[in-house]
Structure 1
Amino acid sequence: MITWSLTKRMQHCHVKLCLGNLVRSVLRNSRSLTSHPITSELTASGTSRSSVEVLGKSYPRDDHSNIPEKILSKVGKNLHNRKYHPLWLVLERVKHHFYKQYIGPYGTPLFSVFDGLSPVVTTWQNFDSLLIPADHPSRNKGDNYYLNRIHMLRSHTSAHQWNLIRAGLNAFLVVGDVYRRDQIDCHHYPVFHQLEAVRLFNKHQLFGDIKDGEPLQLFEQSSRSAHKQETHTLEAVKLVEFDLKQTLTKLVTHLFGDGLEIRWVDCYFPFTHPSFEMEINFQGEWIEVLGCGIMEQQLVNSAGARSNIGWAFGLGLERLAMMLYNIPDIRMFWSEDERFLKQFHVPNINQNVQFQPLSKYPALVNDISFWLPSQNYSENDFYDLVRTIGGDLVEKVDLIDKFEHPKTQRVSHCYRITYRHMEKTLTQEEVTHIHQAVQEGAVRLLGVEGRF
């Protein structure tokens, strides 16, 4: 799931050499390409330095630091705030819907909007504040971008929930760029944008309109463990769940139109219970669009809102934009091609826009095969290496073959890398240069034995 999903991969790789050093050595030993400044895209920021610079602040490196220059170059772009960008259009539609539908007691919008919070957070914010256990696989270095053991690029906008509740807010939207190491295809990118929403209710807000509602309680005492703890009453959970589902049904109906077929799927998130995913029937296919649930009371209590019960949801702006505007490739959101951007320069944010494909330049396909090391190999490390070296020239990477030698039990992987530029025709010479760098990087950084 693009939004709240906590990755399940358990693999972890200790990178032996610095990717920046590899890239610089590749550049030293390769001649420049004059047809397109591809080589400039390979320049790394000297990852041997003792600190990482992000948004004007310096963070000391340690054994957890694993952010390549390709990712650092995306920080601060804030595509969701770029006027007439498709992500901005979707965000504006969501914001206007909440401003119109939910009004506070003084005629002002009920939901506050935070769309400029720094993507650099502490690991406590990203995990511990959300009750994610210390041994949870979502914390793995192989799935996240760490500045060091204490700081990271947020993997979800939920990282800001605790602080905003602590500040006294009871209804807010948080929007921003999030970062995850992931597979490579037209629907996955290491940077994407999320919208998070939280709403808290006190007893009066929840039961005030219910006849004879005074005896109703938000919480009851439970002795599920050695220490008694507050748990939500059934009546409170039902009311909050109803409000959550009604809120989300109105939102997706606003975006996709009336007659939308919706279904709810039970799921699990550490910071909500019960938890759900919403799926919609889009063009005859059921597609998951968001995750949501009743907030765990332990989280709410620790943030200082003990007398409240609440819900939260998170959704991916890219997922919505790709569906609403028929955008086929997630890389296009980072395009500077005016033929793409001008299509979304519309006078009305609710205007129907159907993306008109640009001339699709031909793809070039190259395979890479290698024997895996005996331990500490992670596919995400390979994907990250390919992204760092090939950048947005890489359309997708497919694992097309696995082979285990019957005598030695050594395992071989064969990956098919599809290269395609979104704005020009690539030459085989250009792709060969990049592909050779990927081969060298796999050997030097991942400890594989090449079969090329």
Structure 2
Amino acid sequence: MYIATSRTTCARALLLSIRNTIPMAASPLFSHLKPPSSSSPLPHRIHGPKPFPQVLSSSSSYSGRSPFSSLASVSSSKPHKRIKPPVAALHEIGGVKIAKDDVVRESDPTNNVPDNIFSKIGLQLHRRDNHPLGILKNAIYDYFDASYSSKFVKFDDLCPIVSVQQNFDEVLVPTDHISRSYNDTYYVNTDTVLRCHTSAHQAELLREGHSYFLVTGDVYRRDSIDSTHCPVFHQMEGVRVFAPDEWKGSGTDAASYAAMDLKKCLEGLARHLFAVEMRWVDTYFPFTNPSFELEIYFQEKWMEVLGCGVTEQEILDRNGRKDCVAWAFGLGLERLAMVLFDIPDIRPFWSTDQRFTSQFSEGKLGVKFKQFSKFPPCYKDISFWISDSITENNLCEVVRGIAGDLVEEVKLIDNFTNKKGMTSHCYRIAFRSMERSLTDEEINEMQVVEDL
């Protein structure tokens, strides 16, 4: 449907797929984009790697199956035909019933939510006590209950469909910020999105009078494809509000007092969860100042696991806390769980395979995950001319829509600009199943262009 073995056909199919994926009204740059004719010149590659050779030959089947900051499976009986998973028609979250038509609206040009994203809504992995994310969430709850005498009110069942105002305006995200783009965010319509962060509920909870609260939930972002990124993941938001008398006797100003308390709190949480090297990095967020990121050393590199800072005073002023100061943080549950349980890839979190789920039990934090899948990857390269309207996130969205969780990574490996200023990108797509060996034949079939 979008990739072909011929580069000319491949580029034409990819552009058609991306045009069908990204709303025209939302992305006016696509108005001039047309698929190349069969006589169009191919990207002229004078350097860089050639398509990766086939590395697999036979197939074996198995009978089972950041935040701040659908599996398109292949039938074992018909291994060369992609079968789209069924999408539930109705979800219920926190008493709110969510129908597919409430989220995926093919007739609305401003809607860019695909079926495979809707299928994740309502699964709420963070509410499963024997799932790594649920185990981690409860461990964090234990820390805050012990450290703050159970003052923190906990929310983990809030609806992920929020207004643009909640998701962006109320946390001071500028109107021209990149996170508002259709390239980064899933829009239900021009005024409604799937929340990008649990911060989308911050202002409302402040208005309700909460001074200590934790919000946990699934969040949605159009993102790259690799071992630590997924378009649906889970965050926890934490907010603490200080009244004036809490810092006046401290000998320091309100913002400094809140920043010191924040770092003390999160360093204590990190020590509560694991022993690992960590560091603070100054950063920028629209909703906090000063702002920090906490990074931990994982798989021989530094990985950001949470963002935090002193809440911008404007947010407090707008929501009935004019004389107060506050801190807030947002942490990614998957990234912390990957470290705690030694899970090297983000995809298994969604698995229902008992070889994965049976390894974890309620209350048992830090049990080391035992690999059950060591199947080799199958690599395919794709090269095409790009325009300003074609981004890596758009490409990854198309790839996910076709191959689902069979895709392990999409990586830019080469680029070339000719004398006319036209640029060609070459991406390497790594396919790997956690359940069986993939064959070159079935991946080629998955990439065949149909009905052009």
Shorter chain as denominator, the TM-score bin is 0.7 to 0.9
- What do residues 62-89 of structure 1 show as CA deviations (whole Å, max 9, x unaligned)? 3321011111111111011112111111
Distance 1:134 1:83, change over 3 A: same
CA RMSD of aligned residues (A): 2.8
Equivalent of residue 34 in structure 1, options 63, 67, 77? 77
Contact 1:195/1:314, CA 8 A, preserved across alignment? yes
Residues 141-171 of structure 1: per-residue CA shift (max 9 Å, x gap): 0011110101110111010100000111011
In the TM superposition, what is the alpha-carbon distance from 1:285 to its structure 2 partner? 4.6
Query: How far is 1:40 from its partner?
Result: 2.5
Question: Of 356, 371, 394, which aligns to 2:370?
Answer: 356
1:250 to 265, 268, 271: 268
Identity of aligned residues (%): 45
Residue 424 of structure 1 corresponds to 436
1:55-74 aligned at under 5 Å gives the runs 55=99, 58=102, 62-74=108-120
C-alpha offsets along residues 291-330 of structure 1, whole Å, 9 cap, x if unaligned? 1100001001111121211000010000000011110110
**CA–CA distance in structure 1, aligned partners of residues 370 and 172 of structure 2:** 44
Paired letter, 1:343: Q
Q: Note closer, same or farther for the CA distance 1:43–1:386 as it changes in structure 2 (3 Å cut).
A: farther
SS at match of 2:214: strand
Distance in 2, Cα, partners of 1:145 & 1:78:
18
State TM-score, norm by structure 1. Answer: 0.78
- Residues 1:415 and 2:418 aligned together: no
Classify 1:285/1:425 alpha carbon distance in 2 versus 1 (closer, same or farther; 3 Å): closer
How does 1:337-376 map onto structure 2 within 5 Å? 337-345=353-361, 348-350=363-365, 352-373=366-387, 375-376=388-389
**1:349 to partner: Cα distance:** 2.9
Corresponding residue for residue 225 of structure 2: 184
Q: Read off the aligned partner of 1:97 and give its amino acid letter.
A: Y
Provide the residue aligned with 1:223 in structure 2.
none
Give the whole-Å Cα distance in 2 for the aligned partners of 1:111 and 1:425. Answer: 47
What is the match of residue 19 of structure 2?
16
Instruction: Give 1:152-167 correspondences, 5 Å limit.
Output: 152-167=193-208
Helix, strand or coil for the counterpart of 1:141? coil
Unaligned runs of 5+ in 2: 1-15, 24-73, 90-96
Pairwise CA distance, 1:58: 2.8
Q: Secondary structure at the match of 1:16?
A: helix
Helix, strand or coil at the partner of 1:290: strand
Residue from 160, 172, 175 that aligns with 1:134: 175
Q: Is 1:147 matched with 2:165?
A: no
- State how 1:377-392 maps to structure 2 within 5 Å: 377-392=390-405
Q: Name the CA distance, whole Å, in 1 between partners of 2:17 and 2:439.
A: 34
What is the number of residues matched between the two proteins?
378
SS in 2 for 1:300: helix
Given that 2:87 and 2:116 are in contact with CA atoms closer than 8 Å, whether structure 1 keeps it comes out as yes
**Distance change (3 Å), C-alpha of 1:83 and 1:143:** same
Change in CA separation of 1:269 and 1:412 when aligned onto 2, cut-off 3 Å: same
How far off is 1:368 after superposition?
1.3
User: Scaled by the length of structure 2, what TM-score is found?
Assistant: 0.78
Aligned-pair distance for 1:384?
A: 0.3
Does the 8 Å CA contact 2:21/2:398 hold for their aligned counterparts? no
Would the aligned equivalents of 1:402 and 1:414 in 2 still touch at CA under 8 Å? yes
In the alignment, structure 1 residue 77 sits paired with structure 2 residue 93: no
| Match of residue 230 from structure 1 | none
Looking at structure 2, the residues matched to 19 and 436 of structure 1 have their Cα atoms a distance apart, in angstroms, of 21
Higher RCO (C-alpha 8 Å, min separation 6): 2
**SS of 1:161 mapped into structure 2:** helix
In the alignment, is the contact (CA less than 8 A) between 2:161 and 2:193 conserved in 1? yes
**Aligned equivalents of 1:397 and 1:273: distance in 2?**
35
Q: Which runs of 4+ in 1 moved over 6 A?
A: 42-46
Provide the rounded CA distance (Å) in 2 between the counterparts of 1:415 and 1:173: 40
Partner of 2:315: 299
Q: List gaps (5 residues or longer) in structure 1.
A: 1-12, 21-30, 47-52, 104-108, 217-233, 445-452
